[in-house]
Structure 1
């Protein structure tokens, strides 16, 4: 019999925080928000619960090779834009191109389960603030 997923108060709070924002926050930001509702929560508890939520498919972890990950309350596959100037990460409203998976399977002979795609560049706010000159 499969083990039932237990929804603790801490896990529920973290999930609510992630689902209420589109900023793709770090664990530290989530921790600061969670402390407003649960003052005794520890950073370790936040990290453990983020890992559990990711493993259960409730959230998405975005790791860009930096020293910290960002988290997304939307677990469905979708694309992201990463600003190389300010570090902002946001969703790109564009349909996932599932046909890419079939193309790669045909080219490699491998079985693709899913793909992730991020676009990198300078966001419109940074372009406006710097007269079109990326930093």
Structure 2
């Protein structure tokens, strides 16, 4: 079990959340995958090991993980939420052709909330940055 899984499970236990095999599997899947899966994709990936688990179970656990700050829900306009394990602050590059999402770590933007607050007077509590373009595979396919 990875350190991130262990740390997340300890956080759940600290908050008196029972660690079911399904919760553990959903959390581990999110940590191991960097594909930013939808709830349906998570369900399909885990249904072989958990045939009695419902899609509602996946959604309910994702909602719990999001509420606790372990997972971030991302909506990109295709009306399906994608979920990302929230270990460190990062941004996303999204392919406009195939929908692939890559994480971008850019510490230079760490103080953007402070700057925005100073410039606007807002009490800033979060931010999000998305970069759109064609991924290398799609560039190759369209001949760019």
Matches within 5 A, 1:1-135: 4-95=16-107, 97-132=109-144
Q: TM-score, normalised by structure 2?
A: 0.83
Please identify which structure carries the higher helix content.
Answer: 2
Gaps of 5+ in 1: none
**CA distance in 1 between partners of 2:24 and 2:15 (Å):** 18
For residue 96 of structure 1, report the CA deviation from its aligned partner: 5.4
Moved more, 108-117 or 11-20: 108-117
For residue 93 of structure 1, report the CA deviation from its aligned partner: 3.3
Which structure carries more relative contact order (alpha carbon 8 Å, separation 6+)?
A: 1
Gaps of 5+ in 2: 1-13
Q: Alignment partner of 1:68: what SS?
A: coil
Cα RMSD, aligned residues only: 1.6
Provide the aligned length of Structure 1 versus Structure 2: 131
Distance 1:25 1:3, change over 3 A: closer
Q: String of CA shifts for 1:55-110, please: whole Å, max 9, x gaps.
A: 11111111113211111123432111111010111101322512211221122111
Q: TM-score, normalised by structure 1?
A: 0.89
Q: Alignment partner of 1:65: what SS?
A: coil
Distance 1:93 1:109, change over 3 A: closer
